[in-house]
């Protein structure tokens, strides 16, 4: 497999051209901007969106005009960027697949071995450490608050660029040691498009563009910090996106469903350290995400792993203008239409100006003559198409042969977090290209996909009736579409119609038995109907199949807490924390269960730990207040209750607690004011406790 070795051969030959022997290794900064289309950057020819900072970076480095991602989805694409290997090799294929297996060589682990300090700051839960992409990082900042299983607020599982850059700048301020490898992931261009002011007003007719401009602005702040530290010129800085974004092309919105240029083509800018004499400013040949890691290793003069070599090619030779390097032939795949909807997956092969897409109805495009991929040449240029298909097939065989087996068991909690971000992820494992016979072509199903997508967005925005109407339409056309029934159930659950929710989850269960999220939501519906014992037995049923399942255990602990079986809840959470000491939800729920059990000191400690891990919700602050009040820390309790109410204004229990806490410290007027407000909002609680507040 000669192609696997290209990177390691060129490293030694070319590295002498960049760094004199003994010269210090450069800092390496990798910036991945999620969902960024290449054609939205000024340096790629955009004239409407202002991106001066990325344009300046491109002017000081090499811009790759034809760069492709390996999969138009966040986890597999990032895995390819960070390992230099294809999805089938590293095992990160889809939302539903496993993470990178422990010990798989990554850019971070190789650089760390070579003496680099390593740190990563990710801006979305979609890249939480459960994917194994944290391997090799001394610091992997991925703290997000998934406070409740239902209706997770997407705002709590992503960070704006400004917030992430603050964290990065803060880290740099404490970073005296060089060299370092810093990976910064920014998420703003991802749907939904809602840039902060002044970008929102300025780009009101193109909010996606506004997100791009905002991201560039924040990068300017980051680059400014590097310049003040004297590290901008001397660092290797790479900017890339994990995939683009469809804005209606081929009827696609967002990304992941098709393999057309708007999502497959990505911006790639490599600014070498100033010691490297790279003269080529614009690179016109095809390159791919897997080429990035080998190129960084070349520029940092670090060798790759012998057992699992990177599969991309180092681009340093071409950057130095050296002829003779083999061309990249970008391969891409998406399993999403299949894993979540049951339709066919897609694979693509780009060679020179032509792109072949393997699908039930195959496609061939001439990207130079027809960059918008409007004319499918498959029937007219059959010989060419067949040739590319054959190469694609041979390539897949090679890749599969080098596949490193990954442990099984995708974490459904991870999948649910992704759903909170608007991904229609369902955990069904599939392999690309296997047994496609009889599966529908995604081209024929995109209208249904769009309806489900719109339904999800409506549901997130609280428009349940609209969302459910769309899902009913989908079900009329495709009655057995699991995801439609499941999503309808979630809508009913969020609307408080628990019996209807239960019916949908039962239907979903009949289409895809024992799917964990269905079962967990079924348990929630049951518990809301007061059928807590049945809910407990649904979760126990899941755990009987696989006792290690995380989310059913977390939920079972909650049910025990609400049932008053505090010690059982405590023991479940302690068990989880024994396995996953930094589990945010288990920490928080343990704290709450301990407070309910009257073990205030211990509860307080756990809740403080949960806050340190990034939890920031009303329930936690209310429980914290309760612990503090019972430990005689009245002022702290008052502050906690107020914090809970600032997060959730209509949190009646917290307002009642606040009223009592104020009464206790003698602030009678304030206590009465809070209690009066409670009376206006909740007659039952008012009636029950009013005697305490009557003078």
Binding site residues, Zn ion, CB under 5 A: 34, 74, 242
Q: In angstroms, give the least distance from the CB of 133 to Zn ion.
A: 13
Q: Are 677 and 658 in contact (CB under 8 A)?
A: no
Burial of 461 (0-12, 13-18, 19+ CB in 10 A): exposed
Q: In angstroms, give the least distance from the CB of 309 to Zn ion.
A: 26
Q: In angstroms, give the least distance from the CB of 265 to Zn ion.
A: 14
178 HSE (CA, 13 A, CB side): 15
What tokens were used for 596?
């309910």
Please give the helix or strand (H or E) that residue 458 lies within, else none.
Answer: helix 446-460
Encode 550-561: b = buried (16+ Cβ within 10 Å), e = exposed: bbbbbbbbbbbb
Sign of torsion, CA 91 94 97 102? positive
Q: In angstroms, give the least distance from the CB of 205 to Zn ion.
A: 24
Q: In angstroms, give the least distance from the CB of 134 to Zn ion.
A: 17
Question: CA distances (Å), 667 to each of 136, 581, 658, in order?
Answer: 54, 41, 11
Q: In angstroms, give the least distance from the CB of 74 to Zn ion.
A: 3
Backbone dihedral angles phi then psi of residue 525, each to the nearest 5 degrees: -60, -45
Which of residues 34 and 216 has its CB atom nearest to Zn ion in the complex?
34
Q: In angstroms, give the least distance from the CB of 498 to Zn ion.
A: 35
Which of residues 34 and 373 has its CB atom nearest to Zn ion in the complex?
34
Q: In angstroms, give the least distance from the CB of 240 to Zn ion.
A: 11
How many CB atoms are closer than 10 A to CB 681? 14
Burial of 24 (0-12, 13-18, 19+ CB in 10 A): exposed
250: left (phi > 0), else alpha (psi -120 to 50), else beta? left
Which of residues 191 and 497 has its CB atom nearest to Zn ion in the complex?
191
Q: Are 162 and 168 in contact (CB under 8 A)?
A: no
Which of residues 218 and 583 has its CB atom nearest to Zn ion in the complex?
218
Residue closest to Zn ion when measured from CB atoms: 74
Q: In angstroms, give the least distance from the CB of 540 to Zn ion.
A: 37
Please give the helix or strand (H or E) that residue 121 lies within, else none.
Answer: strand 117-121
Which of residues 242 and 617 has its CB atom nearest to Zn ion in the complex?
242
Q: Please tell me whether residue 526 adopts helix, strand or coil conformation.
A: helix
C-alpha to C-alpha distance for 665 and 14, rounded to whole angstroms = 73
C-alpha to C-alpha distance for 613 and 168, rounded to whole angstroms = 17
Which of residues 157 and 523 has its CB atom nearest to Zn ion in the complex?
157
Q: Are 55 and 239 in contact (CB under 8 A)?
A: no
How many CB atoms are closer than 10 A to CB 483? 24
Which of residues 133 and 470 has its CB atom nearest to Zn ion in the complex?
133
Q: In angstroms, give the least distance from the CB of 95 to Zn ion.
A: 11
Please give the helix or strand (H or E) that residue 588 lies within, else none.
Answer: helix 584-596
Please give the helix or strand (H or E) that residue 350 lies within, else none.
Answer: strand 346-351
Q: In angstroms, give the least distance from the CB of 682 to Zn ion.
A: 43
Q: In angstroms, give the least distance from the CB of 77 to Zn ion.
A: 6
Which of residues 81 and 388 has its CB atom nearest to Zn ion in the complex?
81
Which of residues 74 and 628 has its CB atom nearest to Zn ion in the complex?
74
Residue 359 CA, chain-centre distance (Å), reads: 27
Q: Please tell me whether residue 253 adopts helix, strand or coil conformation.
A: strand
HEC string of 147-215 equals CCCCCCCHHHHECCHHHHHHHHHHHHHCCCCCCEEEEEEECCCCCCCCCCCCHHHHCCCCHHHHHHHHH
Q: In angstroms, give the least distance from the CB of 75 to Zn ion.
A: 8
Which of residues 185 and 485 has its CB atom nearest to Zn ion in the complex?
185
Q: In angstroms, give the least distance from the CB of 192 to Zn ion.
A: 14
C-alpha to C-alpha distance for 656 and 653, rounded to whole angstroms = 5
Which of residues 95 and 116 has its CB atom nearest to Zn ion in the complex?
95
Q: In angstroms, give the least distance from the CB of 219 to Zn ion.
A: 17
Which of residues 34 and 94 has its CB atom nearest to Zn ion in the complex?
34
What's the Rg (C-alpha) of the chain?
27
Give the list of residues 6+ apart from residue 566 with CB closer than 8 angstroms, or none: 560, 593, 594, 596, 597
Residue 198: cis peptide before it, omega within 30 degrees of 0: yes
Which of residues 242 and 291 has its CB atom nearest to Zn ion in the complex?
242
Which of residues 34 and 231 has its CB atom nearest to Zn ion in the complex?
34
Q: In angstroms, give the least distance from the CB of 143 to Zn ion.
A: 19
Which of residues 80 and 520 has its CB atom nearest to Zn ion in the complex?
80
Residues in the chain: 695
C-alpha to C-alpha distance for 255 and 555, rounded to whole angstroms = 32
How many CB atoms are closer than 10 A to CB 410? 19
Which of residues 74 and 147 has its CB atom nearest to Zn ion in the complex?
74
């Amino acid at each position: 497999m000669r192609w696997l070795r290209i990177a390691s051969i060129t490293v030694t030959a070319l590295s002498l051209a960049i760094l004199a022997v003994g010269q210090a290794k450069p800092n390496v900064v990798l910036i991945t901007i999620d969902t960024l289309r290449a054609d939205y950057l000024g340096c790629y020819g955009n004239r409407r969106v202002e991106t001066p900072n990325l344009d300046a970076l491109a002017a000081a480095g090499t811009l790759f005009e034809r760069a492709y991602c390996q999969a138009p989805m966040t986890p597999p694409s990032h895995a390819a960027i960070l390992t230099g290997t294809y999805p089938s090799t590293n095992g990160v294929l889809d939302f539903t697949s496993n993470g990178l297996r422990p010990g798989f060589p990554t850019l971070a682990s190789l650089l760390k071995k070579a003496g680099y300090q390593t740190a990563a700051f990710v801006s979305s839960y979609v890249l939480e450490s459960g994917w194994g992409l944290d391997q090799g990082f001394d610091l992997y900042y991925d703290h997000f608050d998934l406070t409740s299983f239902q209706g997770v607020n997407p705002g709590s599982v992503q960070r704006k660029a400004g917030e992430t850059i603050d964290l990065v700048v803060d880290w740099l301020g404490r970073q005296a040691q060089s060299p370092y490898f810093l990976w910064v992931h920014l998420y703003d261009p991802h749907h939904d498009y809602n840039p902060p002011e002044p970008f929102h007003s300025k780009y009101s007719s193109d909010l996606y563009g506004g997100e791009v401009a905002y991201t560039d602005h924040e990068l300017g702040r980051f680059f400014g910090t590097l310049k003040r530290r004297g590290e901008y010129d001397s660092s290797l800085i790479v900017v890339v996106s994990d995939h683009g974004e469809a804005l209606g092309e081929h009827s696609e919105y967002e990304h992941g469903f098709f393999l057309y240029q708007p999502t497959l083509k990505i911006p790639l800018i490599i600014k070498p350290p100033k010691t490297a004499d790279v003269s080529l400013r614009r690179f016109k040949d095809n390159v791919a995400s897997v080429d990035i890691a080998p190129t960084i290793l070349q520029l940092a003069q670090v060798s790759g792993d012998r057992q699992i070599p990177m599969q991309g090619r180092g681009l340093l030779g071409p950057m130095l203008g050296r002829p003779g390097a083999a061309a990249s032939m970008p391969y891409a795949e998406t399993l999403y239409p299949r894993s979540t909807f049951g339709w066919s997956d897609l694979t693509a092969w780009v060679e020179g100006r032509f792109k072949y897409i393997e699908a039930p109805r195959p496609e061939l495009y001439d990207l130079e003559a027809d960059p918008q991929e409007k004319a499918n040449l498959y029937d007219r240029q059959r010989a060419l198409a067949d040739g590319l298909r054959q190469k694609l097939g041979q390539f897949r065989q090679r890749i599969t042969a080098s596949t490193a087996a990954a442990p099984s068991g995708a974490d459904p909690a991870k999948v649910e977090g992704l759903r909170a971000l608007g991904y229609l992820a369902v955990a069904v494992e599939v392999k690309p290209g296997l047994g496609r016979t009889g599966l529908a072509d995604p081209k024929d199903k995109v209208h249904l996909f769009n309806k489900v997508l719109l339904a999800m967005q409506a549901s997130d925005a609280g428009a349940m009736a609209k969302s459910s109407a769309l899902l009913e339409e989908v079900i009329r056309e495709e009655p057995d579409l699991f995801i439609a029934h499941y999503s309808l159930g979630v809508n009913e659950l969020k609307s408080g119609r628990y019996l209807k929710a239960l019916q949908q989850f039962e239907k979903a269960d009949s289409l895809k038995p024992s799917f964990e999220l269905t079962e967990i939501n079924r348990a929630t519906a049951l518990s809301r109907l007061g059928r807590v014992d049945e809910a407990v037995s649904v979760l126990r049923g899941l755990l009987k199949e696989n006792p290690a399942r995380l989310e059913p255990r977390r939920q079972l602990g909650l049910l025990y807490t609400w049932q008053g079986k505090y010690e059982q809840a405590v023991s479940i959470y302690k068990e989880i924390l024994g396995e996953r000491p930094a589990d945010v939800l288990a920490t928080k729920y343990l704290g709450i269960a301990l407070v309910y059990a009257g073990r205030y000191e211990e509860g307080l400690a756990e809740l403080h730990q949960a806050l340190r891990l990034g939890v920031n919700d009303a329930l936690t602050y209310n429980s914290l207040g309760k612990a503090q009040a019972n430990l005689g820390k009245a002022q702290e309790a008052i502050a906690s209750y107020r914090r809970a109410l600032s997060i959730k204004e209509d949190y009646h229990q917290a307002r009642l607690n606040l009223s009592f806490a104020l009464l206790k410290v003698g602030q009678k007027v304030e206590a009465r004011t809070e209690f009066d407000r409670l009376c206006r909002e909740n007659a039952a609680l008012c009636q029950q406790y009013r005697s305490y507040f009557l003078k």
